[in-house]
Amino acid sequence: MRSSPNYHHPYTFVFVVILFPALAVSYKTLLATESLTISSNETIVSHNETFELGFFTPGTSSRWYLGIWYKKIPTRTYVWVANRDNPLSRPNGSLKISSDNNLFIYDHSSNTPVWSTNLTVGTSRSPLVAELLDNGNFVLRHSNNNEYLWQSFDFPTDTLLPDMKLGWDNKTVLRSWKALEDPSSGDFSTRLETRGFPDGPWIGNRFSCIPEMKPVDYMVYTFIASNEEVTYSYQMTKPDVYSTLSVSYTGTIQRRNWIESAQTWKQLWYQPKDICDNYKQCGSYGYGDSNTIPSCNCIKGFERRNEQEWALRDDSAGCVRKTKLSCDGRDGFVVVKKVKLPDTTATVLDRGIGLKECEAKCLNDCNCTAYANTDIRDGGSGCVIWNGGLFDIRSYPNGGQDLYVKLAAADLDVKITSHGRIIGSSIGVTVLLLLSIILFSYWKRKQKSDITIQTPIVDQVRTQDLLIDEVIWRYWKEGKGIEIVDPIIMDSSSSALRTHEILRCIQIGLLCVQERAEDRPVMSTVMVMLGSETTAIPQPKRPGFCVGRSLFETESSPSTQRDDDLTVNQITLSVIEAR
């Protein structure tokens, strides 16, 4: 329906034409019998008068394009261009609906079409109309229903508007302008990657590589990853706020809001910011930190692959492990805090498990190099596991996500650093303290019960630890390990500990006092055992220092080997040997 002035007095009409010879004529819809021409300065305006569609020339350019811009914003801001790669060289063109039910731009100078929707809908029973919607979507539809035959939202240029979807194919991708005054397809594009874990950068409420992308009350983000589509979009909850996401001709993606009071666009964030945002800038197992010199660093437990190249500021070779993974249950993890997640091409996804189950899954997989939550909301959920090298990591002072990297036991310690700490260390210390209380309580009870005995079990028991080891081992072998626990601790009213948790602590404690060094777990493995109920724990052998045990007796070396040299008389002996 065309909306135009209706003047009844002829003199009034002449007066208006004389004063406003270039007065634009606006349409709400474009009918099949109408055309939008450059010469008439005609435009199509959305019903809420937010957006306007028409022909324009950018800056000082002499070429003509059909595009969409904000009508109410004085600074002309183009959000869509139809014929970006086929402009009109002269102001002699028009937009029409063809007889084969297509929108097309016709160049009257050369008598050729320069752009078309290229639909194959056949003959239509009802007339078609073209309409500019309130959200800036230019659509072609039947006049008697709202079913879209074609829409501009499926063919974005450099700008993502509210309700528009950013996808992975050639249609739903943002591509920059060639230059400031050249809307033709530029050198930079933004799309979603579908290889591996498609929503790897998306961590529930934002992209992990954009910490500034925080939730706001006027905007809602939507991310869909399914068999049918992988898309990102956003919706505005306040209609008076104008916000766009665009790719500039200089190669940055930016979020901008229109500030009405200042009559200007304000940039909220942009990417990339610095050299650390370059893809794979620091190579494998390296991370970028713009606050350090050099900006590339190695994850804890790794070292530079080529010192000479790093000295020349060529960090692409990355880092290598200091110690090879053993994959025998002794490996552990270091948490790299506040980082962008690595490239997710080679990943395995499981949304149904939490972080602890994810840790156990990675620990039992020799190919796993790291793991993290897929969603950081509400304490974290889901599991993503990396197999192979870790690339494209950078740290953020404010923002980012925790990444758990697998390390060999030799490269782990319990010292908390700025870039890593041993997983479960606080849990481990707590449980070890609890185990000490259990053993001490048992020893005190045992000492009281034996006070009337004239002859001690051993001559002053050599040490208290020796007696504790012997008694606990005897009860453990007889399947009575729970009987050594103080009744106060077992009282459910004063402790939330379960029986299997207490037995697990005792089992780990016995492993720590094994005779042979290879049977004793390192501290990092102890931490993993204490912090995860799913980690398998080997059965302990007889402790190395027990009453009645030969100094050289082990589970694998019978006491008969050295019985002629030593006597078992319950006296503590020290033997100095080279190692």
Strands 393-394 and 286-288: parallel
Q: Which helix (H) or strand (E) holds 507?
A: helix 499-511
CATH number of the domain to which 56 belongs: 2.90.10.10
Q: Are residues 397 and 432 in the same domain?
A: no
Which amino acid makes up residue 262? Answer: A
Which amino acid makes up residue 573? Answer: L
Q: Is residue 374 part of a domain?
A: yes
Phi-psi region of 170 (alpha: psi -120 to 50; beta: other; left: phi over 0): alpha
Strands 78-81 and 35-37: unpaired
Tokens of 145: 């229903």
Report d(CA 165, CA 163) in Å as an integer. Answer: 6
Q: Are residues 213 and 146 in the same domain?
A: no
Q: Is residue 118 part of a domain?
A: yes
Looking at 390, 422, 454, the residue that finishes a domain is: 422
Q: Which tens digit of pLDDT belongs to each residue from 84-124?
A: 999 999 999 999 999 889 999 999 999 999 999 999 876 66
Instruction: Report the candidate in 358, 351, 353, 361 with the shortest Cα–Cα distance to residue 402.
Output: 358
| Residue 428 confidence (pLDDT) | 45
Q: Are residues 115 and 224 in the same domain?
A: no
Q: Are residues 29 and 114 in the same domain?
A: yes
Report d(CA 207, CA 298) in Å as an integer. Answer: 23
| Residue 1 confidence (pLDDT) | 42
| Residue 9 confidence (pLDDT) | 46
Tokens of 338: 């506040």
Average pLDDT over residues 528-555: 64
Tokens of 393: 């990591």
Q: Are residues 89 and 233 in the same domain?
A: no
Q: Which tens digit of pLDDT belongs to each residue from 322-367?
A: 999 998 888 999 999 989 889 888 788 888 999 999 999 999 999 9
Which amino acid makes up residue 502? Answer: I
Report d(CA 435, CA 454) in Å as an integer. Answer: 31
Q: Is residue 375 part of a domain?
A: yes
Q: Are residues 71 and 207 in the same domain?
A: no
Backbone φ, ψ for residue 421 (5° rounding): -150, 160
Q: Are residues 267 and 222 in the same domain?
A: yes
Q: Is residue 559 part of a domain?
A: no
Lowest mean pLDDT among 230-239, 271-280, 526-535: 526-535
Four-CA torsion 539, 541, 546, 547, nearest 10 degrees: 110
Mean pLDDT taken over the chain: 78
Report d(CA 356, CA 354) in Å as an integer. Answer: 6
Q: Are residues 25 and 117 in the same domain?
A: yes
Average pLDDT over residues 150-161: 96
Q: Are residues 7 and 148 in the same domain?
A: yes
Q: Which tens digit of pLDDT belongs to each residue from 211-226?
A: 777 778 899 988 887 7
Q: Are residues 2 and 143 in the same domain?
A: yes
Tokens of 91: 């102001």
Considering only CA atoms, give the Rg of the chain. Answer: 36
Residues 296 and 281 sit within 8 Å (Cβ to Cβ):
yes
Instruction: Report the candidate in 452, 456, 407, 414 with the shortest Cα–Cα distance to residue 432.
Output: 414
Domain of residue 90, residue span = 1-155
Report d(CA 367, CA 325) in Å as an integer. Answer: 10
Report d(CA 233, CA 245) in Å as an integer. Answer: 10
**Which residues touch 93 (CB under 8 Å, ≥6 apart)?**
37, 38, 55, 64, 105, 106, 107, 108, 109, 114
User: Is 80 exceeded by the pLDDT of residue 545?
Assistant: no
Q: Is residue 198 part of a domain?
A: yes
Residues 531 and 427 sit within 8 Å (Cβ to Cβ):
yes
Looking at 422, 456, 490, the residue that finishes a domain is: 422
Which amino acid makes up residue 55? Answer: F
Q: Is residue 212 part of a domain?
A: yes
Tokens of 61: 């350019």
Q: Which tens digit of pLDDT belongs to each residue from 305-322?
A: 888 777 777 788 899 999
Instruction: Report the candidate in 217, 201, 245, 254 with the shortest Cα–Cα distance to residue 376.
Output: 201
Q: Is residue 566 part of a domain?
A: no
Q: Are residues 247 and 344 in the same domain?
A: no
Q: Is residue 540 part of a domain?
A: yes
Residue 16 CB neighbours (<10 A): 13
Q: Are residues 138 and 173 in the same domain?
A: no
Q: Which helix (H) or strand (E) holds 527?
A: helix 523-531
Cis amide bond preceding 294, omega within 30: yes
pTM greater than 0.75: no
Cα 462 to the chain's mean position, in Å? 57
Q: Using alpha carbons only, give the angle 209, 212, 218 rounded to the nearest 5 degrees.
A: 125
| Residue 259 confidence (pLDDT) | 95
Report d(CA 141, CA 148) in Å as an integer. Answer: 5
Residue 386 CB neighbours (<10 A): 29
User: Is 80 exceeded by the pLDDT of residue 56?
Assistant: yes
Number of separate domains in the chain:
4
Provide the 3-class DSSP secondary structure of residue 465.
helix
Q: Running DSSP on this structure, what letter comes out for residue 345? A: S
